[in-house]
């Protein structure tokens, strides 16, 4: 291991993240009682411009009136992008009126580390002015060519003193638009591409996340009538190191929870690996064999990841 090491900044269960338009109070209420680990109340692309102000008021009310943490949820607000005139008031209104009730702000279309710096400077001021003892975290949505070109820099900014960044998300729809990729589907595979056309982008973002201690989350899959397509995409993301995926429809919550929860057999094997290595160690050996396969200290590190996520699920759901 290098002498330079950035441990995971914060473990939060984020297998399923339900996207809820801030303009729809009924959907917000339902989201609070859903099985999603995470909910983000959207002020950005799911809200039409004439609805922006009303959505902001709904979101503030939902944060004030619903105890999201008591319902076992992390609650996040997706603010508008820094290129809009909505963004500053999203931050000011949400933070001044409910800044001690929201856990994270999801910042869309992050293109440079300075975008987060600007949001975080505002957060510092508002939290100080209001005397909050809580500290809201940030999450960056990587969904533009510029954001992907700077993704390592953006992730590295989490290591600066006082930084709030905890996670990065891959926004496949805006990314496709920004790249001028030939598709109008949100997240589906392009049959004319041999493989997954998003593989390289997700892999790059996950690498940046893991290098600097951030959670990596996969974004939306638009066709909610295609549960198999959703789960295939989620499994590919999980194979690359993502620990959760958005649900743009309530039916996708269970699909995500299923894919991102290690099955009992996988957890059992992880525990068996740790046990076998402890026994090998006691016998003075670094490697061992389990069910005919060689295992060593790297196997234990992989097993520890599986056990950590299983522990987090148990802590949240018993």
Least separation in angstroms between CB 174 and ligand GLV = 3
One of 173, 238, 242, 253 touching ligand GLV (CB under 6 A): 173
Span from 147-155, 171-179, 275-283, 291-299 in contact with ligand GLV (CB under 6 A):
171-179
Closest C-alpha among 53, 61, 21, 27 to residue 40? 21
- Among Mg ion, ligand GLV, none, the one that 111 touches (CB under a kind-dependent 5 to 8 A) is none
Distance CA 172, CA 174 (A): 6
One of 63, 107, 172, 247 touching ligand GLV (CB under 6 A): 172
Distance CA 315, CA 318 (A): 6
Query: Is 74 buried (19+), middle (13-18) or exposed (0-12) by CB count in 10 A?
Result: buried
Span from 25-33, 115-123, 168-176, 275-283 in contact with ligand GLV (CB under 6 A):
168-176
174 lines the binding site for ligand GLV (CB under 6 A): yes
Comparison of 21 and 219: residue with beta carbon closer to ligand GLV: 219
The 3-state secondary structure of 14-63 reads CCEEEEEECCCHHHHHHHHCCCCCEEEEECCCCCCHHHHHHHHHHHHHHH
Sign of the Cα torsion 111, 21, 316, 231 reads: negative
One of 17, 24, 127, 174 touching Mg ion (CB under 5 A): 174
Question: What is the dihedral angle through the alpha carbons of 136, 158, 112, 207, rounded to the nearest 10 degrees?
Answer: -120
For residues 136 to 155, the per-residue mask of contacts with Mg ion, x marking binding by CB under 5 A and - elsewhere, is -------x------------
- Among Mg ion, ligand GLV, none, the one that 115 touches (CB under a kind-dependent 5 to 8 A) is none
Least separation in angstroms between CB 45 and Mg ion = 5
143 lines the binding site for ligand GLV (CB under 6 A): yes
234 lines the binding site for ligand GLV (CB under 6 A): no
Least separation in angstroms between CB 25 and ligand GLV = 22
171 lines the binding site for Mg ion (CB under 5 A): yes
DSSP annotation of 137 reads E
Q: What's the Cα-to-Cα distance from 284 to each of 77, 250, 277, 281, rounded to whole Å? A: 52, 52, 10, 5
Q: If DSSP codes are grouped into helix, strand and coil, which group holds residue 167? A: strand
Closest C-alpha among 137, 146, 74, 128 to residue 106? 137
Comparison of 171 and 188: residue with beta carbon closer to ligand GLV: 171
- Among ligand GLV, Mg ion, none, the one that 220 touches (CB under a kind-dependent 5 to 8 A) is ligand GLV
- Enumerate residues 259-298 that contact ligand GLV by CB under 6 A: none
Residue nearest to ligand GLV (CB): 171
CA angle 92, 68, 75 (to 5 degrees): 50
- Among ligand GLV, Mg ion, none, the one that 172 touches (CB under a kind-dependent 5 to 8 A) is ligand GLV
37 lines the binding site for Mg ion (CB under 5 A): no
Beta strands in 134-262 (DSSP E): 137-142, 165-170, 215-218, 244-247
Cβ atoms of residues 188 and 229 within 8 Å: yes
Instruction: List interacting residues with ligand GLV (CB under 6 A).
Output: 45, 141, 143, 171-174, 219-220
């Amino acid at each position: 291991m290098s002498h330079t090491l950035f441990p995971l900044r914060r473990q939060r269960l984020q297998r399923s993240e339900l996207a809820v338009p801030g303009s729809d109070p009924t959907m917000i209420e339902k989201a609070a009682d859903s099985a999603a680990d995470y909910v983000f109340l959207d002020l950005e692309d799911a809200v039409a411009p004439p609805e922006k102000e009303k959505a902001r008021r709904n979101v503030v009310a939902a944060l004030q009136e619903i105890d999201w943490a008591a319902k076992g949820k992390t609650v996040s607000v997706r603010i508008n992008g820094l290129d809009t005139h909505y963004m500053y008031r999203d931050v000011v209104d949400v933070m001044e009126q409910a800044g001690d009730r929201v856990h994270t702000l999801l910042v869309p279309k992050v293109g440079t580390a300075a975008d987060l710096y600007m949001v975080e400077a505002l957060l510092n001021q508002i939290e100080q002015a209001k005397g909050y003892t809580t500290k809201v975290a940030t999450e960056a949505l990587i969904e533009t060519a510029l954001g992907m070109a700077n993704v390592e820099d953006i992730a590295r900014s989490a290591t600066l003193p006082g930084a709030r960044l905890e996670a990065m998300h891959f926004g496949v729809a805006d990314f496709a638009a920004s790249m001028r990729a030939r598709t109008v589907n949100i997240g589906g595979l392009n049959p004319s591409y041999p493989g997954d056309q998003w593989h390289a982008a997700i892999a790059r973002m996950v690498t940046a996340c893991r290098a600097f201690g951030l959670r990596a989350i996969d974004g939306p899959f638009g066709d909610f009538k295609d549960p198999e397509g959703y789960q295939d995409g989620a499994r590919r993301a999980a194979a690359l190191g993502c620990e959760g995926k958005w649900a743009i429809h309530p039916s996708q919550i269970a699909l995500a929870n299923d894919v991102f929860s290690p099955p009992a057999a996988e957890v059992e094997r992880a525990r068996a690996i740790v046990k076998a290595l402890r026994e090998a160690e006691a016998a003075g050996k670094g490697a061992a064999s389990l069910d005919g396969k060689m295992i060593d200290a790297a196997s234990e590190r992989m097993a520890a990841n599986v056990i950590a996520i299983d522990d987090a699920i148990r802590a949240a759901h018993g």
